[in-house]
Chains A and B, each alone.
Chain A
Amino acid sequence: MMGNTPQGGIENIVADTALSIQDLTVRFHLKRGILTAVDHISFDIARGETFGLVGESGSGKTVTARAIMRLLPTPPAEIASGRVVLDDQSVYDLSSEELRAIRGRKIAMVFQEPMSALNPVFTVGAQMTDVLRTNLKMSRAEARERAVELLQLVGIPSAGSRLGSYVHEFSGGMRQRVMLAMALSCNPGFLIADEPTTALDVTIQATILELIDSMIHRLGMSLLFITHNLGVVAHSCDRIGVMYASHLVETGTTRAIFANPQHPYTVGLLESIPRLADQKRYLTPIPGTVCNMLEPPQGCKFHPRCPHAMDVCREQAPPLREVAPGHLAACHLHAMATV
């Protein structure tokens, strides 16, 4: 990333950051106790960059996304520490008007379930023009024209006549296109896609991924892509962050993470996927199961499943350390190597 800034000054790097998550901690106050869903995580996404956040269910990916958008209901959620900085604005210092001005126009989100994220009782056209008229103060006719344009942009055939359709009249893939069109409607510079293809079949997934990719490049947006599917991030992201049990355990370029994973969890995850190419009789799973997040283990959360666990892992949580330029991992094995 340093190489991309001609002057190389620190200001340039900061100015080039679209989104910065700094030491973010999110807790949920539940009847059964306090659940730390996101635990002191930090990462930056540069302008124009696509960043994939991967992890298994319950690892904290979606909570991170919602925390960025300030969509978490407080209580039960609590931002226990940290900041979210979007285009030099601290999201949690904004008033509710300022927040409304940002949502949609600077940052927008695409959800996994278009059926529940879109309103079933209004036509697609009504929902789209509503956004455009409120946010961009467009007239009815302008909004309609723009909505048609957006639906065409995301590849919906006979867009003009589909404005009068309801969400249930679209197929799964088409719904996701509608959702993307709505997210793009106010030209946000930043898009969060939370498992946008998980509910779709592979052939439809391929079309949606291609569409997101072309939109991002055409409109020069930055993207936070949340998924559990390592195959999807391998082809659609510049950099990757791996989450395990509320911690960010590794970040680096996509190539580095796949070619040279440094955290034992990432290594285990990559080894446990069945692959089309090579044929082994038995897979190499990660032993055990994810810890109970209400009573997480001391130290590194991964130690009960880790083949390399040492005494220090049971006591202290390892911080993220740079193991190679731009490649960070949170593992005590690397502390041993560098000391």
Chain B
Amino acid sequence: MTTPLLEVENLTKYFTLNDDIVSRIAGKSRTLKAVDDISFSINAGETLGLVGESGCGKSTTGRLITRLIEPTSGAIRIGGEDLLAFDRPRMMAARKQMQLVFQDPYSSLNPRKTIMQILGRPLEIHEPATSWRDRRERVLELLNLVGLGREHIDRYPHEFSGGQRQRIAIARALAVNPALVIGDEPVSALDVSVQAQILNLFRELQERLQLTYLFIAHDLSVIRHISDRVAVMYVGKIVETGPVSDIFAAPLHPYTRALMAAVPEADPDMPAPKLMLQGEVATPIDPPPGCRLCRRCPIATPNCETDPPPLREVAPAHFVACHNL
């Protein structure tokens, strides 16, 4: 078996709230379990879609993998090497292998820099030996790669539309030839007609450059479209993971099922969105020890409150964390 490009093991990030001395003495500190003991891996050339509702920890997961924030515990391995053991210079080098594309192309590009400066910057940092002329040549190549023209190189971000800005953000991520691209809701801010262009661009680039994607999104139809495998998160936990076709054809976890039933399909002949869960999303602050869904779950049993359900393999490569399946 080949080593996966990215392996995440028991990754955990807790944030302490009310962490001042008074609260600590009074015992009022609380723990927000943003990401709680999750494990997954992504093979080279594969797309893993990470899906869930706001606050489930999917963006935190993306940031932990790039070490933009430090995990509380767990292991992250890229190409078999332990990322968390890296010192600063080695981490810098490792970042060349994994690049992020953010949601909002209006705030992720510096408005005072030209496209040449924005796209040239990662090259200056990671390949300081390249001459200005070579860098410019490479930036032109990148623009061409993402479907922009040579004439765009000396313009500023405000001269571009949302979709074009997202192309620039993608070009910046690709500037250092990464193996892994983490997209954190990269198409959520775009209108559907432009969203389709950017999704196609992601796919095309993956085929041309053999990229590996971790694609974080809340939109199930986008996840369905782009992913090979899917991991569904709910309040800091992965509740179900498996091949995209399995998950969408036969979702098993009560949360996955509820999520899918709630999506309004753009077709009046399809069933209308249904409600399958009562109440609201549980809070990640001092959650109960058992399953995070237990209080909303239609098939919950008493042990769901107390025992955390482990991920079990129910079909080849299809894992579900539920006591009652």
Contacts and interface: CB of A to CB of B under 8 A. Distances in A.
Contacts of A255: 268
B27 to A, nearest CB: 24
A232 B264 contact: yes
A276 B259 contact: no
A232 B221 CA distance: 14
A274 B224 contact: yes
A241 B182 CA distance: 37
Interface in B233-273: 245, 248, 258-270, 272-273
A231 B270 CA distance: 10
A235 B281 CA distance: 24
A173 B161 contact: no
Interface string A196-208: 0000011111110
Contacts of B203: 281-282
A269 B264 contact: no
B191 interface: yes
Contact of B262 (A202, A286, A290): A202
B71 interface: no
Contact of B221 (A173, A275, A281): A275
A201 B281 contact: yes
Contacts of B199: 274, 283
A255 B265 CA distance: 13
Interface string A201-230: 111111101100000000000000000111
Given A203-B259, A272-B195, A284-B196, A254 B268 contact: yes
A210 B275 contact: yes
Interface of chain B, main secondary structure: helix
B163 interface: yes
Contacts of B72: none
Given A203-B275, A279-B224, A229 B264 contact: yes
Contacts of A203: 53, 258-259, 262, 275, 277, 281
Contacts of B200: 282-283, 285
Nearest to B248: A276
A23 B265 CA distance: 32
A205 B268 CA distance: 17
A7 interface: no
Nearest to A305: B193
Contacts of A230: 192, 266
A230 B268 CA distance: 10
Interface of B: 53-54, 161, 163-164, 191-197, 199-200, 203-204, 218, 220-222, 224-225, 245, 248, 258-270, 272-275, 277, 280-281
13 contacts: A171-B280, A203-B258, A204-B281, A206-B264, A209-B264, A231-B265, A231-B266, A273-B221, A274-B224, A274-B225, A276-B220, A279-B224, A285-B194
Given A206-B264, A276-B221, 19 more contacts: A56-B193, A201-B218, A202-B220, A203-B275, A205-B262, A209-B264, A228-B191, A231-B263, A231-B265, A234-B265, A255-B268, A269-B192, A272-B193, A274-B199, A275-B266, A281-B203, A285-B193, A289-B161, A289-B163
Interface of A: 56-57, 171, 173-174, 201-207, 209-210, 228-232, 234-236, 254-255, 258, 268-270, 272-277, 279-287, 289-290
